[in-house]
Amino acid sequence: MNVETVDRLIEKDPSLESSRSALEVMKEGASCIHRAWGVGKITGFEADRGMIVVDFEEGERKSHAMDPVFCLDKLEVLDEDHIISRHRNNPEEIDAKVKKEPVELFIEIISKFEDGCAATRELERIINLLLGAAKGKKWWTATKKLLIKDPRVAVPNKKTEPYVLRDEPVKPEQEILQDFFDEKRSKEKIILAEKLYDLASEKEDLQADLPQVLHDLTVALMEARNLSQADRLHGIWVRNNLARDVEEDVEKLEPTSASILHECEEDLPALADQMPAKFHSRLLDLVTRVYPEKWKDTVLHLLHNTATKFSGESAHFLIDRDESKLLIKSLSSILDEQTLRAPVLLWMIKFRKLSKFEALLEKLMTPQLLTAVFSAIDYESLQNATTRRIPLAEILSDDKELLRDILTKGTAENAKDLAQALILNPGFEDLSKRSLLARFIKLYPEIQDIIDGSGSSTSQVESVTTDDSLIVSQSSYDKKMADLDELNKEKIPANSQAIEAAREHGDLRENAEYHMAKDEQKVLLARQSELQTDLMRAKPTDFMDAPADAVGIGSIVNLSNSDSGEAQKYTILGAWDSDPDKNVLSYLTPLGQNLLGKKVDDLVETEIEGTVTNWKIEGLARWVDSQ
């Protein structure tokens, strides 16, 4: 806004004099940040209403008018040399730095903070606004690894501590070395020693201090009482990595990695699950050395009794050592006994399409496996006292090809038994269960009888008129499910964040942003309830059961006007399939209801705005036959 406009605002409200500079920077072309709505650009000023106009990049808030006084504590106006302003005005320059000079770009960002010091949360906010959430997260993850080795930046050991731009460059390994000697806690000492090993590319820089580092680590490993066996093994490997340049045989340094394995022999799976993922392969290598005669059985034991990550690593380990036959024999045997645990089943499903495992696991993707999956989900639901979703149930719902791949290897009887097991399984949410049952019905339509609770062959029309269900096409059902998924995972969480952000702005009675967000919440929750209700009533179909001798859901009907001879053709489909432009009617429309059950040569009467028309059915066809 120009000086005259600001003067008029202050004349109306003298208390704004202290905010003059903040109002003056709200000028056309300036980039800005709104707490809830993200980055925008001021595109003009409506003099008659006294409002600035902002184009926000996200959502539908283009040419959004805002009271400049209201914006004083809601809108952060950026100066021209702010990294976001520079990016929006010259994206090519900044994008080049994003790709080629990430550390230099970071230094530009942090140098704008007071004293070159910024909390991780503040930096992540700027980066996400600059690049977008997904790209920003990926870029920040990669850049943090580079910053660790840059002497100009002090990288925090904890997320709660700030990043600091140093006045004088300091080698990060020297800083970590000092932190290591100052640290009294054993676990933190191991973590610092590992950082030291990762950073010190030139080990001669550590030669003078290395003996003391090794001594302090060994004392911590042997004397600390608060370390788990997994922590000790982790520490031993870190110590051994550092000691390789000064010791002839690091495996003889006490305590040894083998001694930890022997101490944990009764419960190796617990040790494996506590180890960091990057050490999984190293632990399996250790098993082969400590148990040269029985390492295969030990690895199989770990595979069947650990969490998904270690279970998968064990499978990789066996295949890499040409033990594929042993692996498949073990999986088949445990599957026959129906004692496969959820982590192994989850790994099998996740990696069944991976080239390394595809041929191996293909033979196991059978109805028998699905029985084991349902059993594992049932068991986990009984053990699960929280509302946390069950991963195995979640992947079964999300993987659109899995049920088809399994059911096509069995019979209709297999499918019926499994559908019955699914209906009775407490581990699925109702909507997920319906979605899965729809996939069963698509392959075996006769399974619909199980869902209806009757084995009788009642007509399609009777089933429609005797309950509150909705017959819908699979495509329309999938679309509604996708809409509900978007609401649950994106729109409602984003709205909740907007409400919390607006709540922080103070007095809720005059907080327009808060009331707008709450109004949007009502709309979203109403839509969520509507979708959930519709989907609970829905019975997806492929219209394969449409009759050939009478009008049903899935019929193409040729009509003629008994008075004028006018010809008309309609397709009667599911409740959510209406498309008047293409003469597709929902069976719930008045004409659709009148036509259901009628046959060729029957007469149908319609009344539109008081005009009665008689139609004669001249011909029938099944919609599926025309596809």
* Torsion from C-alpha of 197, 200, 201, 205, nearest 10 degrees: -130
Provide mean pLDDT across the span 254-273.
90
Among residues 52, 54, 71, 68, the alpha carbon closest in space to that of 9 is found at 68
| Residues forming a β-bridge with 46 | 51
Per-residue pLDDT of 73-114, as tens digits, reads 888 999 999 999 999 999 999 999 999 999 999 999 999 898
Query: How many Å apart are CA 34 and CA 45, to the nearest integer?
Result: 18
Radius of gyration of the chain (CA): 34
Between 432 and 274, the higher pLDDT residue:
274
At 466, is the secondary structure helix, strand, or coil?
Answer: coil
Which pLDDT score, from 0 to 100, does residue 280 have?
A: 93
Provide mean pLDDT across the span 340-354.
90
Query: How many Å apart are CA 189 and CA 177, to the nearest integer?
Result: 10
Query: How many Å apart are CA 579 and CA 556, to the nearest integer?
Result: 14
pLDDT of 345 above 90: yes
CB-count burial class (<10 Å; 0-12, 13-18, 19+) for 547? middle
Q: Would you call the peptide bond into 255 cis, given omega within 30 degrees of 0 as the criterion? A: yes
CB-count burial class (<10 Å; 0-12, 13-18, 19+) for 307? middle
Sign of CA dihedral 21, 26, 32, 38: positive
**Amino acid, single-letter form, for residue 416:** K
Per-residue pLDDT of 520-556, as tens digits, reads 888 888 888 788 778 877 888 888 888 888 899 999 9
Q: Lowest mean pLDDT of 160-164, 278-282, 305-309, 460-464, name the range.
A: 460-464
Distance of CA 370 to the CA centre of its chain: 24
Which pLDDT score, from 0 to 100, does residue 15 have?
A: 86
Which pLDDT score, from 0 to 100, does residue 384 have?
A: 66
Query: How many Å apart are CA 318 and CA 325, to the nearest integer?
Result: 9
CA distances from 394 to 120, 399, 401, 435 (A): 32, 9, 14, 12
Distance of CA 133 to the CA centre of its chain: 13
Beta strands at 75-77 and 31-34: parallel, antiparallel or unpaired? antiparallel
Among residues 586, 501, 546, 552, the alpha carbon closest in space to that of 35 is found at 501
Q: What's the CA angle centered on 534, arms 529 and 538, to 5 degrees? A: 150
Mean pLDDT, the chain, rounded, equals: 85
Tokens 């498949």 label which residue?
A: 328
Domains, the chain: 3-78 (2.30.30), 84-170 (no CATH), 458-541 (1.10.287.180), 555-626 (3.10.50.30)
Beta strands at 584-586 and 567-573: parallel, antiparallel or unpaired? parallel
Q: How far apart are the first and last CA of the chain?
A: 61
190 and 180 Cβ atoms separated by less than 8 Å: no
Which pLDDT score, from 0 to 100, does residue 85 have?
A: 94
Per-residue pLDDT of 437-493, as tens digits, reads 888 888 888 887 766 654 333 344 444 444 567 888 988 988 888 888 888 888 888
Q: Lowest mean pLDDT of 14-18, 136-140, 194-198, 245-249, name the range.
A: 245-249
Beta strands at 611-622 and 38-46: parallel, antiparallel or unpaired? unpaired
Residue 88 structure tokens: 């929006």
Tokens 């980055």 label which residue?
A: 39
Which pLDDT score, from 0 to 100, does residue 98 have?
A: 93
In the chain, how many H helices and how many E strands?
Answer: 30, 15
Which pLDDT score, from 0 to 100, does residue 464 have?
A: 43
pLDDT band at 516 (very low <50, low <70, confident <90, very high): confident
79 and 21 Cβ atoms separated by less than 8 Å: no
Q: How many CB atoms lie within 10 A of CB 255?
A: 16
pLDDT of 410 above 50: yes
469 and 475 Cβ atoms separated by less than 8 Å: no
**How crowded is the C-beta side of 295, counted as CA atoms within 13 Å?**
16
Beta strands at 603-608 and 538-541: parallel, antiparallel or unpaired? unpaired
Query: How many Å apart are CA 218 and CA 213, to the nearest integer?
Result: 9
Which pLDDT score, from 0 to 100, does residue 509 have?
A: 60
At 183, is the secondary structure helix, strand, or coil?
Answer: coil
Per-residue pLDDT of 571-612, as tens digits, reads 999 999 988 888 899 988 888 888 888 889 888 887 766 677
pLDDT of 246 above 60: yes
Provide mean pLDDT across the span 487-506.
77
